[in-house]
Amino acid sequence: MNTSQMNCFLAAAECLNFTKAAERMHLSQPGLSRQISAMERELGVELFERGKSPVRLTAAGAICVEHFSRITEDFQKMLNQLTMAQRLEQGSIIIGAIEGQLVGLCYENVLNYVWSTRPNVKIKMSYYSISDLCKALVEGELDIAIMPEAEAERLPGVAFTRSHMEKCCLIVPSSHSKANAENPTLQDFKDEIFLVLAESDSEVLAKQHMEICQAAGFTPKQHVVPTVGTLTMLLEMGAGITVLDAWHTLRNASHVKFLQVPDIGYQIEAAAWREDNANPYIQVFIERIKHDYEEPQAESKLPE
């Protein structure tokens, strides 16, 4: 019996549908069925009542769910600890960020401090969609994740510290008729198509974008996009407008313009880490963030 078979069984036990479980495991339905059948032969029991709709667990199957869940959880913890042990031996720290973030400029002082005081530490940067960034942090693939504070608050077993409150801007094509308007407001753009993230990637930011417009007195026409990377591509194509913080790779692009409007406040950003992560360089990074952090005064924040 192997972890692949246990994971297939647990997926089927949760879905109670072999087709849906196979899709989750990125397998064909017959392939998943073979894995489970092999387990049943090895254990000498039937795990599912297959003649009924929906599929049901047998009494033996219910017992296996309890034990296999514990085994796979312990196995994942072991893998995380092995990864952490390797990082500590190599003297490294892995930092994750959202696609398009200018981490090097935004965290320049912090990164330079770590390099200057720990010259042997290897710093690796990885970029993700928001949902994948959260998943990578929770599963132990990252030491630190740079993300909206509201996202970090939702993650189990994760600690965080506020690192920035970045001014958010309305991003429009440079060719837009109102791109050079004096004192623009969101009302000036109420008839435009707003590019917004899908809730599957970030329920927090999807909600924020809607609330910003509604607070300005209108409900935006929306084009929902799956990830920040797709959103950035559509902005580059001139396919809509959106709200982003000022530290984005597009800020220096000539074909888009970052407009500061009074209706839009600050995005609260945080550095997050797993509470059980023993990498000592995390605290070096975090303590420097706390040392450098200054909260802007008398400025509005984005909706919580």
3-state per-residue secondary structure call for 45-99: CCCEECCCCCCEECHHHHHHHHHHHHHHHHHHHHHHHHHHHHHHHHCEEEEEEEC
* pTM above threshold 0.85: no
Least confident piece of the model among 30-34, 114-118, 292-296: 292-296
In DSSP terms, which residues pair with 197 in a beta bridge?
225
- Residue 145: what pLDDT? 96
Of 292, 304, 235, 213, nearest to 266 (Cα)?
A: 304
Q: Which helix (H) or strand (E) holds 162?
A: strand 158-173
Contact indicator for 280, 246 with CB cutoff of 8 Å: no
Residues 262-291 pLDDT 10s: 888 888 899 999 998 888 889 889 999 998
Residues 22-59 pLDDT 10s: 888 888 989 989 999 999 999 999 999 887 677 889 99
Whole-angstrom distance, CA of residue 196 vs CA of residue 199: 9
- Residue 160: what pLDDT? 96
Least confident piece of the model among 8-22, 87-101, 261-275: 87-101
- Residue 298: what pLDDT? 43
Q: What is the mean pLDDT of the chain?
A: 87
Q: Is the pLDDT of residue 304 over 70?
A: no
pLDDT band at 87 (very low <50, low <70, confident <90, very high): low
- Residue 161: what pLDDT? 95
